[in-house]
Amino acid sequence: MVDEPRQSRAAAPILLFDSGIGGLTVLAELRKLLPQAPVIYAADHAGLPYGEKSEAEIAARVAGLLGLLAERYHPRLICIACNTASTIALGMVREVLRVPVVGTVPAIKPAAKMTRSGTIGLLGTAATVRQAYVDRLEAEFATGRRLLRHAAPELVGAAERKLRGEAVAPEAIAAAARGLRDQPGGEAIDTIVLACTHFPLLEPELAGAFGPGVRFVDGAAGIARRIAHLTAGQNFERQVPDCAVFTGSPESTAALAPALAHYGLEHCGAV
Ligand code: DGL
């Protein structure tokens, strides 16, 4: 068990965790609601991509890293800003940490309300699209709707490269679009769940590939509201600049400095 934070509660950060830069899409929404909240952003680039790993590997990495990060930073709340990690490890992490933990859930419920054609597409990682958790969301919130799923691991790398200032490969976007459109009934998709926190970073490119009439939905704003709700009434005081920390080599993250600055984060080195 990890001890309760000992630092001043007002300075205690909210810790956002992802395998990479996808969680920045959650941070962007959190900044709108809680601009004064101190934040630590932690990315497991040494483990990226989670979507291609086994459930056991993901659970072990996420639980181990979050235990270490909780001891080091004494966060008031942890957000697993990663669909893959949340759908697999959220329950386990909540068991072992005393800090409140908010997860990321594929936005099937809002998508089911938004669709007019009744056909929803879902883009996620391979590990996310095969989760029973997604089956349960579909059964609970999308009855009477058709949900077509497609694993688009190439979008994770494309988003990572985009935030390093590199061009987005049109083939990666086209392959993801084909993966949904070419399924039986895929031509009727009018709503797409971006069930990986990396993917909203590519929404303009995806919108171009899917064409007009398709709307995208992700969980970031809902997660930010949940964090604001759980921390309502708490004091926030940013005593040091907000930091981003990474596993993996410094060379792989150096090019991210401008993007991190855009989200109000300093690159603070290794986990
Ligand atoms: N950002 C992660 C998610 O939301 C996935 C990226 C990865 O494959 O590591 O699922």
Q: 46 CA to middle of ligand 1, Å?
A: 13
Mutate to test the pocket of ligand 1, among 16, 18, 88 (most ligand atoms within 8 A of CB): 18
Q: 126 CA to middle of ligand 1, Å?
A: 9
- 43-73 pLDDT per residue, tens: 999 999 999 999 999 999 999 999 999 999 9
- 16-36 pLDDT per residue, tens: 999 999 999 999 999 999 999
Residue nearest to atom 2 of ligand 1 (CA): 82
Percent of the residues in the chain that have a pLDDT greater than 70, as a whole number:
97
Q: Give yes or no for residue 264 having a pLDDT over 90.
A: yes
Higher pLDDT, 54 or 253: 54
- Active-site annotation holds for 196: yes
Model pLDDT, residue 7:
59
Q: 252 CA to middle of ligand 1, Å?
A: 17
- Active-site annotation holds for 79: no
Percent of the residues in the chain that have a pLDDT greater than 90, as a whole number:
92
Model pLDDT, residue 251:
83
Overall pTM surpassing 0.85 (yes/no): yes
The whole-number average pLDDT for the span 108-127 is 98
The model's confidence at residue 252, banded by pLDDT at 50, 70 and 90, is confident
User: Which domains does the chain possess?
Assistant: 6-104+221-270 (3.40.50.1860), 108-218 (3.40.50.1860)
- 132-177 pLDDT per residue, tens: 999 999 999 999 999 999 999 999 999 999 999 999 999 999 999 9
Distance CA 264, CA 244 (A): 10
The whole-number average pLDDT for the span 94-98 is 94
Q: Give yes or no for residue 180 having a pLDDT over 60.
A: yes
Nearest atom in ligand 1 to the alpha carbon of residue 48 is 9
Mutate to test the pocket of ligand 1, among 26, 44, 65, 83 (most ligand atoms within 8 A of CB): 83
Taken in order 196, 199, 203, 206, is the CA torsion positive or negative? Answer: negative
Q: Give yes or no for residue 259 having a pLDDT over 90.
A: yes
Pocket of ligand 1 (CB under 6 A): 18-20, 22, 48-51, 82-84, 125, 128, 156, 196-198
Average pLDDT, the chain: 95
Mutate to test the pocket of ligand 1, among 16, 17, 19 (most ligand atoms within 8 A of CB): 19
Q: Give yes or no for residue 92 having a pLDDT over 70.
A: yes
The whole-number average pLDDT for the span 70-78 is 97
Q: 235 CA to middle of ligand 1, Å?
A: 31
